[in-house]
A = this chain, B = another copy of it.
């Protein structure tokens, strides 16, 4: 039924070793024999069995990708970067959603390893000791992407989240804002939570301001929670003149909550986010935000992984990509 390398060999009147050579573009095959083999392949409709090849060569040309949620626009953008570069280097990716749930992350890491992936790209909340235990059981290269890891012992690519938040708040400060509401992620979430929280705090301190707890709300990074937190801010006396959020989605929620309340953005309240998801320029007013290079995060991580897989020497395995303030229309000077 299925045609194997052996059938091709017989058809072409050569040995299977020779067929293997031409299929793998090995040098040292006489042009004529090469041609005969190609013809046999063509006429039999031979398709190499990558599984058998993987077993024999111990390389599968596939990498495992664990991702929190592919339907999240931030991660799907990163995933596209990953896949494009993977494709460029002739790797395929096995994609696993893990929702930042530790047990599921560990589980998929193990099945990915069972599948003999050549490398592992991990995106998730935070790397714990259990993760490290799982990573330790293998020799395949691992790179962390948009993920925080305390001991800094793995290859990784990310942005400086604290600095990004710091820059955003400083921007607000420079526009005269002093009452800046902050919708933060959970402080257990190192990147979106704690790091950005620290950035907010430090920016305030740099300006000689004290952080006030009543101006900080914890959200879940999503649109609705941006709305909810903003409603709270709207009830404050005095009201904040600006709202900074740890994600663009929450920022968009903030904008709408303000508008639904009958106020204007940025005239009455300015709003600044982080991420620069596509949607950020698909709101009115368009969102001023700190851009993360989402596609590049994935692309660079994947490129790094290919180098690691090929045992190329790489100068720096901990790469920080730069973020960038994107000025649009949701921010203005404070009106006294």
**Are B95 and A93 in contact, with the CB atoms below 8 A?**
yes
Indicate whether A70 reaches chain B with its CB closer than 8 angstroms.
yes
Q: Contacts of A72 on B, CB cut-off 8 Å?
A: 76
User: Interface digits, A272-312 against B, CB 8 Å rule (1 contact, 0 not)?
Assistant: 00000011001110000000000100000000000000000
CA distance A279 to B47 in the complex (A): 43
Whole-angstrom CA separation of A295 from B70 in the bound complex: 12
Question: Does A225 have its Cβ within 8 Å of any Cβ on chain B?
Answer: no
User: Across the interface, do A49 and B92 meet the contact criterion of CB distance under 8 Å?
Assistant: no
CA distance A282 to B112 in the complex (A): 36
A52:B55 contact, CB within 8 angstroms: yes
Copies of this chain present in the complex amount to: 2
Q: Is A87 an interface residue (CB 8 A)?
A: yes
A279 to B153, CA, bound (A): 38
Interchain CB contact under 8 A, A51 and B55: yes
Which residues does chain B contribute within 8 Å of A92, judged by CB atoms? 94, 96, 111-112, 115
Tell me the complex Cα distance, A116–B55, Å. 13
A97 contacts B83, CB within 8 Å?
yes
CA distance A70 to B97 in the complex (A): 13
Q: Are A97 and B84 in contact (CB under 8 A)?
A: yes
Give the interface size bracket for A toward B: 35 or more
Contact B137 A47, beta carbon cutoff 8 Å = yes
* A79 at the binding interface (Cβ < 8 Å): yes
* Most chain B beta-carbon neighbours within 10 Å: one of A45, A87, A282: A282
Q: Are A259 and B284 in contact (CB under 8 A)?
A: yes
Question: CB distance A76 to B70 under 8 Å?
Answer: yes
Does A80 touch B at the CB level, under 8 Å?
yes
**Residues of B close to A95: CB separation below 8 A:** 79, 83, 93-95
How long is the Cα–Cα vector from A79 to B70 in the complex, in angstroms?
Answer: 7
Q: How far is the CB of A80 from the nearest CB of chain B, in Å?
A: 4
Question: Which of B52, B60, B76, B84 is in CB contact (< 8 Å) with A76?
Answer: B76
Q: Are B49 and A114 in contact (CB under 8 A)?
A: yes
Q: Which residues of A contact B (CB under 8 A)?
A: 45, 47-52, 54-55, 60, 62, 69-73, 76-77, 79-80, 83-84, 87, 92-97, 110-116, 137, 223, 252-253, 256, 259-260, 278-279, 282-284, 295
User: Can you add 11 more A-B contacts, CB < 8 Å, to A45-B137, A253-B282?
Assistant: A47-B110, A48-B114, A50-B114, A51-B54, A51-B115, A70-B70, A80-B97, A87-B97, A93-B94, A94-B94, A259-B284
